[in-house]
Amino acid sequence: MSQPNNQSTIFDNIRIVLCQTSHPGNIGSTARAMKTMGFKNLYLVQPDKYPNAQATAMAAGADNVLDNAIVTQTLSEALVGCAFAIGLSARKRYLSHDTVNAREAALQAYEIAPSQPVAFVFGTEMSGLTNAELDCCQLLAMIPANPEYSSLNLAMAVQLVCYELRMCTLEANIHEPSGDAKTMPLATNDDLERFYTHLEETLLHIGYLNPNAPKKLFERMRRLYSRARLEKEEVNLLRGVLTLTQAPRKHTKY
């Protein structure tokens, strides 16, 4: 897998566990959501209908995740070998558990997953996790949602969690050279100064700047162009415009 360096164990050690899912389409969408973020270990605890054509259809190109899903009769079986299990809830209803948001939960999982498996556990579409399921989890995570409508689709919730996990791996790499930096060379400071001189000269030539007090307006122009972070080639394009602006009209390029 072409994951960020040294991160493959983390991607291997995350499990997504769906409990008693009613709609097979959600299982397929979950597989797809997981794969887009680089995850592959899907556990299904007593799914209502599975395998199922609708699940396969919704999985799109993530059928390998679906095909390798492990079906269990209990949540405990799905958690065998896990060092840490995090239950997901849309509402803050379980006073019994430490509750953090999904971002914080992902960070905690990210600390453990390099060495041991970590599970994220999702309840049914209608009512979420039962108390018995929750008792198998060490932490409760909430996705901050609109209090007036917190009805997140199950696969959407999986997508958000997997996204937060992936973001953890990227932020850990943040100081590494990314390799995909813009390749167009930026204009140097002296390129820019020559451009500004040319621009000022041209604005005086066309009578835009007041020769007795050119500074104020011109400073605003400089600021505007400096914000654009001009590339070398763009400075050349702009200077081409300035040259033609100053040229007598008949000597045009075309």
> What is the contact surface with a second copy in residues (CB under 8 A)?
1-3, 29, 32-33, 35-38, 60-62, 92, 95, 101, 103, 143-153, 155-156, 159-160, 163, 166-167, 170, 180, 182-184, 203, 206-212, 217, 220-221, 224-225, 227-230, 234, 237-238, 240-241, 244-245, 247, 249, 252-254
Query: Count H helices, E strands: the chain?
Result: 11, 7
Residue 252 C-beta: closest distance to a second copy, Å: 2
Residue 106 C-beta: closest distance to a second copy, Å: 12
Pick between residue 133 and residue 200 the one whose CB is nearest to a second copy: 200
Pick between residue 71 and residue 152 the one whose CB is nearest to a second copy: 152
d(CA 173, CA 162) in angstroms, rounded, equals 17
Residue type, 56: T
Let me know: does 217 contact 172? Beta carbons within 8 Å.
no
Residue 14 C-beta: closest distance to a second copy, Å: 13
Tell me if the bond preceding 51 is cis, omega within 30° of 0: yes
Residue 77 C-beta: closest distance to a second copy, Å: 27
Residue 99 C-beta: closest distance to a second copy, Å: 8
In order, the DSSP letters of 1-54 are ---STT-HHHHHTEEEEEES-S-HHHHHHHHHHHHHTT--EEEEES-SS-S-HH
Report the chain's C-alpha Rg in angstroms: 28
Q: Report DSSP state, residue 75.
A: H
Residue 26 C-beta: closest distance to a second copy, Å: 12
Q: Comparing C-alpha atoms, which of 244, 223, 225 is closest to residue 235?
A: 225
d(CA 18, CA 125) in angstroms, rounded, equals 10
Pick between residue 46 and residue 153 the one whose CB is nearest to a second copy: 153
